[in-house]
Amino acid sequence: MVGSAIVRTLEKRGYSNLLLRTRDELDLSNQASVQAFFETEKPDYVFLAAAKVGGILANDTYPAEFIYENLGIQTNVIHSAHLAGVQKLLFLGSTCIYPKMAPQPLKEEYLLTGPLEPTNEWYAVAKIAGIKLCQAYRRQYGCDFISAMPTNLYGPGDDFDPETSHVAPGIMRKMHTATIEGKTEVELWGTGRPRREFLHVDDLAEACCFLMDNYSAESPINVGTGKDLSIRELAETLQEITEFSGDLAFDETMPDGTPRKLVDTTRINQLGWKARIPLREGLEQTYRWYVERCTNAVSAK
């Protein structure tokens, strides 16, 4: 989702010399393959968006995969980028790196000031290691490696599988399916009270290009909208968008995760960047993308 959005943004800006590899062409968890790629291609700029990602249930169910794959991918890419003399690298983290009970909004300096949220600590520890890798290579070798911390993302290209997805695409699909099947209720997880901030992936892609041009420092930098809402409010908005007329049933045996994740975007705003896509508009566009894709998949069968 993120890599494709960055490619769309770079192409819109006129870059035609992008070095792209699919997962099948280059396994980023394979150190030798990654090193060979960097030695041969010698990229100037690297956007490190590749990661093993998932929603609250996937993170909680597959802790080993989340920590192992992310540590591997980022270590291989960052070290190879250093050896190949890459001019600048942007590493993408996540706001789950901040302590579970950190004050809100989350400022960049809250990193490593308290315990993490247990459902995604494996992913968070890997992402914190990624930030530290960038900082260490900057200090010891003078590499211009920076880290951006996006808030919860959504948009075209997302994972819509209700078992592994994040909340917005998960609920979209549940409501879409329930409407088709004539169900009167959709099951959601937790209490509906946690608050989350959502950023459209095209806004993130713009921010990544902006940071490549305008940011060079050791501290990670937050990327978000500065606005949050409760999961219940998100679900009610999605009910309107998907036209699902049934009820919301919250399964409180499922985890809530962090009570609130709202980032302080002062730093990136002061540099001159702001998110543009309003949540409602972004969710509507994402739902249209999902429905078109479903319809095409069905007619191709």
- Which residue, 250, 236, 263, 227, is CA-closest to 97? 263
Please, which residue, 91 or 198, has the CB nearer to ligand GDP? 198
Task: Report the C-alpha gap between 110 and 107 in whole angstroms.
Answer: 6
By CB under 6 A, the residues from 113 to 172 that bind ligand GDP are 120, 152, 162, 165-167, 170-171
Task: Report the C-alpha gap between 227 and 277 in whole angstroms.
Answer: 12
Please, which residue, 155 or 255, has the CB nearer to ligand GDP? 255
The distance of closest approach from Cβ of residue 169 to ligand GDP in the complex, given in angstroms and rounded to an integer, is: 8
Single out the segment in contact with ligand GDP by CB under 6 A; choices: 17-25, 81-89, 254-262, 263-271.
Answer: 254-262
Please, which residue, 27 or 233, has the CB nearer to ligand GDP? 233
The site string for ligand GDP over 183-222 (x = CB under 6 A, - otherwise) reads: -----xxx---x-x--------------------------
Instruction: Decide: is 10 part of the binding site for ligand GDP (CB under 6 A).
Output: no
Cβ atoms 152, 166 nearer than 8 A: yes
Three-class DSSP category at 206: helix
Interface pick for ligand GDP out of 233, 254, 285, 289 (rule CB under 6 A)? 254
Instruction: Decide: is 55 part of the binding site for ligand GDP (CB under 6 A).
Output: yes
The distance of closest approach from Cβ of residue 270 to ligand GDP in the complex, given in angstroms and rounded to an integer, is: 26
Would you tell me the crossing angle of helices 279-300 and 231-242 to the nearest 10 degrees? 50
Task: Report the C-alpha gap between 74 and 154 in whole angstroms.
Answer: 22
Burial of 114 (0-12, 13-18, 19+ CB in 10 A): exposed
Cβ atoms 146, 39 nearer than 8 A: no
Task: Report the C-alpha gap between 84 and 96 in whole angstroms.
Answer: 31
Instruction: Decide: is 236 part of the binding site for ligand GDP (CB under 6 A).
Output: no
Instruction: Summarize as ranges the residues that interact with ligand GDP (CB under 6 A).
Output: 55-56, 96, 120, 152, 162, 165-167, 170-171, 188-190, 194, 196, 231, 254-257
